[in-house]
Amino acid sequence: MDILVNSTPLRLVCRCRKNPLLLFSTLTLLLLLLSTSTHINATVFHFDSASIEAGIALDGLSMGEIEHNGIRAFFSSATLSDGPSVFNQTATRFGINSLSTSADSSSLIDAAEGISEFLTITFSQSVWLENIVLSLFSVGETAQLSVNRGLLTVLEGMAVSRDSYYFSDFFIPEGESLQLTHLGGNGFSLDSLTIISHEVSESSSMLLMLFVLSLLVFLESHRYRR
């Protein structure tokens, strides 16, 4: 019992009971901290099917915007020669077609006449890239992921029909662009990408105030009854 009485938490409680203002301030701060929570949301953009949203919204455009789970993503297609290009979606593929040549109709992100294509994505808030899925991406073929043209990682094709790549610390700040570029090989289809965002929610401050005031009144009335 002596150890409990001399403990710091119990001394704080006793001091608060003697000082209503200190009690009120301490409980208000504690409840505000406890009532603020952070939710981690995963948002998946699908591109590789004519029946789902992202590819439909971008097909035939050089630039476009998609909103999903409250996050806006701004897409643009380009080539390393700065020639005109558009997104091209088919039943099972999503890529880019260069308009500088009539030979490019593969609906892949590839290199039409030796000039690599790339897409950029800018998000309306800071996010983490968790996963990207590519298909028709064979062993020996390569692609590059970067943010604002700073090299971050090179993706290498694998001996599977759909190549799935996971990341643990791939951060994309708000306003900066994720870029996916063809490096070598016959090209690939972008099937999907998954991003992680943090959403902070706060409960009603009025309810917190009422709770604290009720607790304060209870403690004060209890003290007067003693």
Summarize pLDDT for 42-59 with one digit per residue, the tens. 999 988 765 566 777 898
The pLDDT of residue 81 is 86
Strand, helix or coil for residue 215: helix
DSSP state of 188: B
The pLDDT of residue 115 is 86
Query: With 50 as the cut, is the pLDDT of residue 119 above it?
Result: yes
Residue spans in the chain of domains classed CATH 2.60.120: 40-200
Higher pLDDT pick, 127 / 10 = 127
Q: Which fold has domain 40-200?
A: Jelly Rolls (2.60.120)
The pLDDT of residue 27 is 59
**pLDDT band per the 50, 70, 90 thresholds, residue 99:** confident
Reported for 210-219, long-range contacts at CB under 8 A and 24+ positions apart, including other chains, are 211/31, 212/24, 212/27, 212/28, 212/31, 215/27, 216/20, 216/23, 216/24, 216/27, 219/17, 219/20, 219/23
